[in-house]
């Protein structure tokens, strides 16, 4: 039975995230974005609010919340700023849920529990300077020598690169398969920042998400213990795609929150601003733009809720998650552009938040699979040219209680 009512526990997560956003993000974000400064206090605030592991099983230090709760928190945090939602995307979506699903018990105890408790921060390393959508185009290698893998390469555009404690990194363990572009030669590894040969640097001058830390990671003869291999050798590509499914879900929900922020900003401004002797809320074309935002918000939210519902049931949801990510990001871009238009010249300055919304909205149509990638995926599903194969492991099934 499908219900559109949120459960008490889901409402509580929503309340926690909304309260943190109102008290800790919105009051300071304009200044931090203007200064292009990452705020380390945000991580502490999120950990204190139990938002860094709330949808992970209790046995691994989480609160056992469901995946719709993860979407609700993502939506509320991005209402404040994209940089806050990004923390959930990479820490929970791209690292914790994959390690919880694909990792062995020893890895979960060592590398998942501290993250679920908010004691450690983690992120995901797939993208490289010359490899984005072409995931198997990565050049990083991990050659096994005895009981270690020797890791060499560079990752680029990595969120939290300078501040994360752990990274899930993808590399070629089989150099012959690398030459043949056979993805069965890719594997996944957990890498600690403290491993010798790991260095990171910050990327400056970003168009958006300026209050978030983004950087590159270099690996120079890094010795990674063999027990840090996630899953089996050769499962790296499958794990990477699984990671992206979880990340895309949070991006979809977060972009929905951005649409809502655009709508609310425009509603407030349109009642305050007058032209031709009347509030602009009375102008039909302003109403049209706000109506478009409302429509975009409603159907984007339904799409990510559908994906979350399937996640809760343990059902495959790559198709639904891709659709939710594609549409929500598209609608967020449209809403942000029209929000600037509603604000007129003021929308062109940082006196109002809509110019930040506009800049932030663009990135989501690129990361976690470009809009072009998702367009082709959806076409291939409809045409019968794509069919997802079952995975060896699945997300833990959770109760919506």
Catalytic machinery residues = 368
End-to-end CA distance of the chain: 14
* Apex 158 CA angle, 139 and 25, nearest 5: 175
Contacting residues for 1 by C-beta, under 8 A, at least 6 apart: none
Q: What is the chain's alpha carbon radius of gyration, rounded to the nearest angstrom?
A: 21
Residue 270, classified by CB atoms within 10 Å of its CB into exposed (0-12), middle (13-18) or buried (19+), is buried
Three-state DSSP string of 169-215? EEEECCHHHHHHCCHHHEEEEEEECCCCCEEEEECCCCCCCCCCCEE
DSSP-assigned states of every residue in 107-152: HIIIIIHHHHTTSS-EEEE--BTTBSS-GGG---EEEEETTEEEEE
d(CA 236, CA 170): 6
Instruction: Give the 3-state secondary structure of residue 167.
Output: strand
How far does Cα 249 stand from its chain's mean position?
7
Cβ-based neighbour number of residue 109 at 10 Å? 14
Closest CA to 340 of 255, 261, 252: 261
CB 17 within 8 A of CB 76: yes
Q: At 347, phi and psi to the nearest 5?
A: -70, -15
CB 62 within 8 A of CB 55: yes
Structure tokens at 65: 């919340």
Strand partners, 279: 274
């Amino acid at each position: 039975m499908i219900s559109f009512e949120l459960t008490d526990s889901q409402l509580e997560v929503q309340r926690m995230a909304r309260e943190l956003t109102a008290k800790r993000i919105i009051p300071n974000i304009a200044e931090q974005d203007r200064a292009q400064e990452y705020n380390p206090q945000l991580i502490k605030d999120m950990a204190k609010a139990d938002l860094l592991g709330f949808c992970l099983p209790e046995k691994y230090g989480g609160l056992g919340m469901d995946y719709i709760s993860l979407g609700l928190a993502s939506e509320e945090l991005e209402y404040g700023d994209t940089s806050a939602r990004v923390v959930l995307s990479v820490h929970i979506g791209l690292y914790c849920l994959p390690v919880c699903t694909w990792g062995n018990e020893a890895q979960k105890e060592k590398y998942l529990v501290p993250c679920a408790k908010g004691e450690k921060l983690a992120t995901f390393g797939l993208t490289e300077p010359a490899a984005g959508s072409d995931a198997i185009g990565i050049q990083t290698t991990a050659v096994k020598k005895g009981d270690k893998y020797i890791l060499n390469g560079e990752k680029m555009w990595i969120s939290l690169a300078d501040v994360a404690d752990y990274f899930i990194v993808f590399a070629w363990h089989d150099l012959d398969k690398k030459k043949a572009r056979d993805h069965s030669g890719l594997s996944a590894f957990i890498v600690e920042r403290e491993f010798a040969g790991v260095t990171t640097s910050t990327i400056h001058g970003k168009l958006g998400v300026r209050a978030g830390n983004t950087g590159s990671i270099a690996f120079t003869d890094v010795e990674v213990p063999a027990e840090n291999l996630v899953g089996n050798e050769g499962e790296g590509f499958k794990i990477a795609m699984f990671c992206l499914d979880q990340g895309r879900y949070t991006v979809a929900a977060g972009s929905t929150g951005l649409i809502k922020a655009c709508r609310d900003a425009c509603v407030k401004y349109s009642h305050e601003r007058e032209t031709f002797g009347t509030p602009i809320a009375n102008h039909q074309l302003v109403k049209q733009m706000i109506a478009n935002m409302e429509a975009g918000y409603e159907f984007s939210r339904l799409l990510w809720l559908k994906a979350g519902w399937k996640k809760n049931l343990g059902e495959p949801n790559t198709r639904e998650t891709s659709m939710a990510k594609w549409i929500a990001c598209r609608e967020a871009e449209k809403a942000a552009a029209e929000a600037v238009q509603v604000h007129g010249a003021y929308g062109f300055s940082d006196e109002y938040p809509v110019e930040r919304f506009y800049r932030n909205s663009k990135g989501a149509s690129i990361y976690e699979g470009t809009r072009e990638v998702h367009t082709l995926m959806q076409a291939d599903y409809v045409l019968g040219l794509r069919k997802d194969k079952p995975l060896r492991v699945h997300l833990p099934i959770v109760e919506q209680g």
